[in-house]
Structure 1
Amino acid sequence: MKFFKVFFGIIMITYLLLTFMSYFIKKPLEGTLSGKLTINAENVVINDEIIDISRIEDIGIIIGSYDNQEVEYSSRSIKPKISNGTDNVITLCFTDGAKHSIHFKQEFFEHYLSIKPFIISLIKSNKISILKATTILNIHDYDDIQEFKKEINKKEPQI
Structure 2
Amino acid sequence: MGITDFFSDVWDTFAHPSPDAEAPKGGSSTETPAAGTPEESSEEAEVNKQDAVKSDESQQEQGHIPSDDAEEEEEEEEETVDPKDKLEADCQESKACAPAKHHYDECAERVMGQIENDGKAKEDCVEEFFHLAHCATQCAAKPLFSQLK
Q: TM-score range by the shorter chain?
A: under 0.3
Higher helix proportion, which one? 2
Scaled by the length of structure 2, what TM-score is found? 0.27
Greater CA radius of gyration, 1 or 2?
Answer: 2
Higher strand proportion, which one? 1
Scaled by the length of structure 1, what TM-score is found? 0.25
